[in-house]
Structure 1
Amino acid sequence: MLKKISLLFMAVCCLHTSFSQDKKERKKIKAIRITKEPKIDGVLDDEAWKNAELATDFVIFRPENGQAVTEDYQTTVRIVYDDNAIFISAQMNDPNPSEIPKEFAVRDNFAIADFFLVTINPNDDGQNPFEFIVQSTGNQADAKVSNGNEDFNWSAVWDSAAKIDEKGWTVEIEIPYRALRFANRDIQEWGFNFHRRLELLNQQHTWTHIDNTVGRWTQYDGLITELANIKPPTRLNLYPYASAVTNVFQGQTDFDWNVGMDIKYGLSENFTLDATLVPDFSQVGFDDVVLNLGPFEQQFTEQRQFFTEGTELFNIANLFYSRRIGGPPIDQFDVYGNLSANEEVIDYPSKTTMINAIKVSGRTKKGLGIGFFNAITQKTEATIRDNQSGDIRKEVIDPFTNFNILVLDQQFNQNSTVSLINTNVTRNGSFRDANVTALDWHIETKDSRYNADGSVRMSNISDDPNNPNTGWTFDNSFGYNSGNWFWEVGYNFESKDFNPNDLGILFTNDQQTIYGNVGWRTVQPTKNFNRIWVNSYHNLNFQHFSGIYTGYFTGIGGSAQTRSRFSFGGNLNYGTEEKDFFEPRQGTTSGVFFLQPERINFNGWFETNSQKKFELSGNAYFTSFSNNPKEGFGYSIGLRHRFNNQFSLRYRLRSNNTNDDQGFVDQTANNIIFGFRDRKSYTNTISGKYSFSTNSSISLSFRHFWEAVSYNSFNNLNAEGGLDPNNSYVGDNVNFNSWNLDLNYIWQFAPGSQLIAFYRNSIFNFNNNANLNFFENLDNLFEQSQRHTISVRFVYFIDYNKLKNIF
């Protein structure tokens, strides 16, 4: 079957030769070669800029798309180059230079500040540019773009400076060729565009006009011509690091240290090898853990840089959930369930340890993206003690494991792509292995008005007696997206045996859905609004295995922003009675289901002008259930205050309440037990930052999550999906707390090199004291042991080319 999918992929890829690129009239300027580099200080008085051609006549991108920019706010850009780098300068006129917003931000984050953005596309394919951004404070950001999606986890090492002057403000940028990927040709022509954000005017200007009614913004590049005799350098960057960590918990202090290296090596003009040797993830942020009473695992955001940077190819078809690598052990044979009468587990590691990982990725001039990923985790064992004899034994809960991904992604027509992806997990010994293959496509008409989105996926699980062997999914939709209107209609199914969860994540299988949505939006601002957006969706659901109708869901929603930048929105949703085959935890083919009640839900939100020193945001929801005592309601409120351009704090309170919630509790010999329960949860978060300079800052992240669950009664699930009283079952209430406070100091003492000092205070509590009020719960929480973590990490950037020149 894999062979058939591969042949289909190659056949579809061949279609790209039948499309001819639309050679519309494009803005062009000629790049000038220089012999002396400009000094990157934000002052445009260098000899290098004097003979450079001008890129000017900017137009408004948003909100008034296509209007000309007045001379008072016009931008002028120059481009020069030499053997090592391309240099860009910009003079941005502003009649009120002293009023230009300039709030500081950490790298790759945006604050209340103007910015200048450069997109560079050496392959000029309309789909995969690099972005380099300088804010009016001098803060940097950069991203790699794929099909219009910006990945700010990608980072390069480059130089820039910004300065306010009497005309407005200026920028100088130096981008070394090692930060880009381009072919080795005598004469180069690169796609370019320049963006300028004016925060006070709420405008964004671009050098070449981007028509927001059709296509992607990456398809509207201008052209920089006559880049002559530049050679792709040896792209070898080394990031050696050293770290030290101290943990204090329950009176015991542990110390650990680590040294290792990250490597980026250009295998060819367009392909790069990334490797992490002896990885260190001691300073990643905390997970937003919640009390999970549902049938599915909680999904966490990836925060390890190696797994967030440059992974756009590996995320195609949603088969890669990187938290599987170094995550909880698989424990295929259930150590706790196979203990003898006298045994107990005295040590059960919560995570596996990654030994190393590599990824190779790139894209050819003809648009073929190729990606290969591989990671290895070491054997993980639980320690078991026989309390009668005192004997200690080890039991493997996760074997030595290899994870790999192979991706082929062919782009064409500046708007379409077809991809083949395979993921494989191979475990040592008799543990299960897994393989998943997918063919994924997004195809648009040449004018980008109509599109088809879809995929077909196959999973195969071997050496696992508890799971069937092979499963399938199929999804395809047809849509329209142009001007004011957009719509989509489609069908998808997942068979009962489809299981990508060894390296991916899927919550529900054995279902099929006929779905559609239609929406309308403004493409130009109105008298009172910058933008308006409305949308309606419809989902008709069935079980795939049996074809049983399970429910219908529909809703309508919208959002808007006024000319004074007050944003608001809301939606109204309706769901019929739903046959839920997952909540009873019996497997979808058992025929056992819980009949979720008919419901109607409303929620709304607002956000004040973020440019003001004080910003207020909030939302609220209410859900009513027909012929059922259950009801849900909640709200959140957020406050943000900028004390000055260097210091700001943000606070958010989120409250959720559900009365008479109904859900699975337990299973006895004869009954599946459900409970009627009242649930209340509160989440308090505080975040703040203080910037000493563009290269030095301290940040705060705090989160306290509390949920209390009080059971009112217990019931038996009956054959019709309803609940019958059970007066004999006794269960416990739940009180759950997760507390984390992080302080993080970052000093970039040289380009690409950092010193990071990190402190974390964490507390966890789980008991049955569900009837405490908020302050009583805090008192109870602080009676628990606190964990204190202190870490220092030193990273130094080494460019092989500069190192070679030194020696």
Structure 2
Amino acid sequence: MIGRLVCLLIYLSITLGFAQDKKQYNILRQSESAKIDGDLSDSVWENPDVATDFVQFSPNLELAATPDRRTEVKLYYNDAGVFLSAKLYDDPSKIMSQFTTRDNFGQADFFALILNPNNDAQNDTQFFVFSSGTQADALSSPSIGQDFGWNAVWDSAVQKTDFGWQLEMKIPYRALRFPKTDIQTWGIQFKRHFRRERSDYAWNPIDRTKGYEGLYHGQLVGLKNLEPPLRLNLYPFTTGIVNTVGNQTSTDFKLGMDMKYGITDNLTLDATLIPDFSQARFDNVVLNLGPFEQTFDEQRQFFTEGVDLFTKGNLFFSRRVGSAPTGTVDLEENEIVENKPSEVGLINAIKMSGRLKSGLGVGVFNAVTESTTATVLDTLQNSRKEVEVEPLSNYNIMVVDQQFNKNSSVSLINTNVTRSGDFRNANVTGALFNLINKSNSYQLSGDFKMSHINQGKEEKTGFSSRLRLAKISDNFQFSLTHDYADKKYDINDLGLIFRNNYNNFTGRASYRIFEPTEKFQSYSIRFFSRYSQLASPQTYTGLTLFSEFVATTPKLDTYGFDFKIEPGKQFDYFEPRVDERFFITENQTRVGGFISTNYNRTFAINLRARTETFFEEGRESYSYEFRIRPRVRFNDFFLMEYNFNYDQRINDRGFSTFVEGEPIFGERDRQILVNSISANYNFNPFHGLNLQLRHYWDTVLYDEFMYNLNPNGRLSENKNLPKSELASNPDINFSTWNLDLNYSWQFAPGSFLTALYRNQLFTNTTEAQNNFETTFTNLFQQDIQHTVSIRLQYFFDVNMVKSVFTSKKS
């Protein structure tokens, strides 16, 4: 069957072609540099050609821009970089211009310049300028989408006019990667967004019904004798920290530096030579009752920027680097662990990545973490000793990725973690492919991965695979996927996998419109089904059916609803926390929906609700959840949003503890209440205030008697085992509070002054019957952690020194 599908895909690749007439822009070289102030009266803008005749690609296709909203773009280049000016015609009273922080789109019109120096249709560098003057930039490719974690240093300025607005941009060559050849042709695209109606226009027409947008770029011709600059950028910084907990105050002062160095025209080395992540935001901690670890998004900029190659195959989870120690402490009688660090210090980290003109991408990542010890106290001798819980460790990734046909690729990636001494070492290798036919209508993708763990005398080798066939164009799309992982497959030293031992078959189908109708600006209908099995033994575990409808009205209000059912018996082999034991549920059913009003209005609101139950004999369990998120945009400077989330679960059943090696379950009521506030005040595009406040409260109250898990997967109430007889009370009252107040000022390109105040509280007790008022009062009786930090970072381009000496010599 698979062989026939492969043959079909190859046949379609040969017989179907993708062709489009591409616009060309002939760029001129000029010696002078425009002053980037948004004023287009400089003489350098008199001679360049004009790029115009933009065409809408969303929500309508191939709708030409009317004269009153036309766009006129001019470019030229010199030794300093590529310069752009744009006149954007519009009714000035209708232009939306909310001030936001960098890379935050908000409610503002924008213009985008997209460059692809390799002209390969797959690797774009995108630069956005908003009508407010705010900047955004991203790397983009079919495999990662848009990566706004990447940041470059470039110049732009806007001015409002009586015909709309206008802008200037300067893209220095240090922000781009291109080969050193005498004559170059780059891929180029200009895009414009009208926020009030969420319409998008492009200079070279885009057909969003099929293919990655890079396929629709025009061509930038006329570039000659470009000299790639010395790409050496330094980011020295200093951070002062004051931390107070109760009556104890500590201070710290840090000096450090990050670096970017262009090894070749297309390869860049990034390094954090003296790391400092003290201003990374708090994680949104929740109570975890499930069998799998709790994870959080990456907050450290070095690990979020320019990591597209390293994400191939989903083998890299950057929070592993510097996470909690992996070692355990063997205690003697009368010994206790007095202090065990929650994280490991990072000594340094580097990443080298880039893509050659041939389409070959190369990436190398390396990080070193320090040896970490725990303090053990002998309570009889009143003596202490240090026990190593994480040795000096090296984290390494190597990846090569070959792109071809402007839409396909094959990749090879290896991750490795080496820990000194008698600690666990890990190695994972993956081979991946993504094949798309020339008409961009069908896709065949997959991967094969092997993991090897070495821990002393114990070794294990695991295997995983994935194969997917999909129709990826036009209104109706579908995909068929097979996922497999054996019991020994383990990537959790540098990657993330919640569970292994699966053999699943998944089908997806969807229908969406690409042109507005009288009642809808857009809508989509999606269906999903998954047949799940264990890999070993080959046994059925469950079936999931899901459907969803989402629509946006002509007034830009969005709503939707979904339905999910797991029909019949579902066999959960992970909730018991014991190999080969399982827990049965039946006919779990969920219904939900949401409404999100148009954010362009001063007041907007998001409402979401869902309810869930089991159609199972002897079980009366249900849950419901609703979220309310109103937001008020007081003006273009000030935005505030409140988020209220209430989740109630009645007679829920799940694992509680072990008694004499047997898993003990309980029936419990759980209530989750989350209140959060975010507020942003931006004085201008370069400095602003941000407030994040969050309170999370979670209670779990078990019934009086616990349950035994029987060999047949069913639960039976044990009248001889009240919860009071357990080693510890399973009831939980979990409450956290955290506040972040941040001020950021970009006082020069790439240079920032950041001031941060934060505080944090946390309690975890067994007093699940306490009400909200009592819990909140008890929470603030704890010692509050107050942290104040000020960080100064300066951007330094080595070419600045060269230009100074060149000017003096002249």
The residue correspondences of 1:200-349 to structure 2 (distance < 5 A) are 200-331=196-327, 334-335=328-329, 338-349=330-341
The residue correspondences of 1:351-366 to structure 2 (distance < 5 A) are 351-366=343-358
Partner-residue secondary structure (3-state), 1:102: coil
* Aligned 8 A contact 2:239 2:789 in 1: yes
Give, as a single letter, the amino acid of the residue that structure 1 aligns with 2:801. Answer: L
Report the CA distance between 1:570 and its aligned residue: 1.5
Partner-residue secondary structure (3-state), 1:351: coil
Partner-residue secondary structure (3-state), 1:725: strand
Give, as a single letter, the amino acid of the residue that structure 1 aligns with 2:73. Answer: V
Q: Are 2:112 and 1:121 aligned? A: no
Report the CA distance between 1:99 and its aligned residue: 2.8
The residue correspondences of 1:496-511 to structure 2 (distance < 5 A) are 496-511=487-502
Partner residue in 1 for 2:753: 755
Farther off after superposition, 18-27 or 644-653? 18-27
Distance 1:24 1:626 in 2: 55
The residue correspondences of 1:5-20 to structure 2 (distance < 5 A) are none
Distance 1:464 1:659, change over 3 A: farther
Distance 2:57 2:18 in 1: 21
* Aligned 8 A contact 1:100 1:114 in 2: yes
Report the CA distance between 1:729 and its aligned residue: 4.2
Partner residue in 2 for 1:422: 414
* Aligned 8 A contact 2:482 2:506 in 1: yes
TM score, norm. by length of structure 1: 0.96
Report the CA distance between 1:537 and its aligned residue: 0.8
Q: Are 2:140 and 1:145 aligned? A: yes
Unaligned residue ranges in structure 1 (runs of 5+): 1-14
Distance 1:48 1:129, change over 3 A: same
Q: Are 2:714 and 1:722 aligned? A: yes
Partner residue in 2 for 1:452: 444
Distance 1:504 1:120 in 2: 32
* Aligned 8 A contact 1:20 1:413 in 2: no
* Aligned 8 A contact 2:397 2:415 in 1: yes
Q: Are 2:528 and 1:530 aligned? A: no
Partner residue in 1 for 2:592: 603
Report the CA distance between 1:21 and its aligned residue: 8.9
Deviations 1:237-284 (A, max 9, x none): 000000011110021001111111000000000000000011000001
Distance 2:246 2:391 in 1: 31
Which of 611, 614, 617 pairs up with 1:622? 611
Distance 2:49 2:215 in 1: 23
Partner residue in 2 for 1:4: none
The residue correspondences of 1:558-573 to structure 2 (distance < 5 A) are 558-573=549-564
* Aligned 8 A contact 2:25 2:220 in 1: yes
Report the CA distance between 1:390 and its aligned residue: 2.1
Q: What is the root-mean-square deviation in Å for CA atoms of aligned residues?
A: 1.6
Distance 1:78 1:636 in 2: 47
Give, as a single letter, the amino acid of the residue that structure 2 aligns with 1:616. Answer: I
Deviations 1:162-187 (A, max 9, x none): 11101110010000011100011111
Partner residue in 2 for 1:400: 392
Partner-residue secondary structure (3-state), 2:741: strand
Partner residue in 1 for 2:3: none
Q: Are 2:587 and 1:594 aligned? A: no
Distance 1:721 1:64 in 2: 54
Partner residue in 2 for 1:388: 380
Partner-residue secondary structure (3-state), 1:218: helix
Distance 1:806 1:19, change over 3 A: farther
Farther off after superposition, 551-560 or 141-150? 141-150
Report the CA distance between 1:732 and its aligned residue: 3.2
Partner residue in 1 for 2:636: 645
Report the CA distance between 1:541 and its aligned residue: 0.8
Give, as a single letter, the amino acid of the residue that structure 1 aligns with 2:148. Answer: F
Partner-residue secondary structure (3-state), 1:478: strand
* Aligned 8 A contact 1:273 1:361 in 2: yes
Distance 1:273 1:646 in 2: 37
Report the CA distance between 1:596 and its aligned residue: 2.4
Structure 1 runs (4+) greater than 3 angstroms displaced: 17-24
Report the CA distance between 1:776 and its aligned residue: 2.1
Report the CA distance between 1:20 and its aligned residue: 12
The alignment-based identity, stated in percent, is 41
Unaligned residue ranges in structure 2 (runs of 5+): 1-10, 724-728, 806-810
Distance 2:545 2:743 in 1: 47
Deviations 1:97-141 (A, max 9, x none): 133111100001111111001100000100111000000010000
Give, as a single letter, the amino acid of the residue that structure 1 aligns with 2:593. Answer: G
Partner-residue secondary structure (3-state), 1:584: coil
* Aligned 8 A contact 1:112 1:611 in 2: yes
Q: Are 2:542 and 1:551 aligned? A: yes
TM score, norm. by length of structure 2: 0.95
Deviations 1:618-650 (A, max 9, x none): 100101101221211101000110111101100
Give, as a single letter, the amino acid of the residue that structure 1 aligns with 2:582. Answer: F
Which of 559, 566, 571 pairs up with 1:579? 571
Name the count of aligned residue pairs: 784
Distance 1:522 1:18, change over 3 A: closer
Distance 2:573 2:603 in 1: 47
Partner residue in 2 for 1:462: 454
Which of 177, 182, 186 pairs up with 1:181? 177
Give, as a single letter, the amino acid of the residue that structure 2 aligns with 1:222. Answer: G
Distance 2:249 2:777 in 1: 25
Distance 2:352 2:18 in 1: 32
Partner residue in 2 for 1:70: 66
Distance 2:581 2:18 in 1: 56
Partner-residue secondary structure (3-state), 2:174: helix
Distance 2:452 2:247 in 1: 48
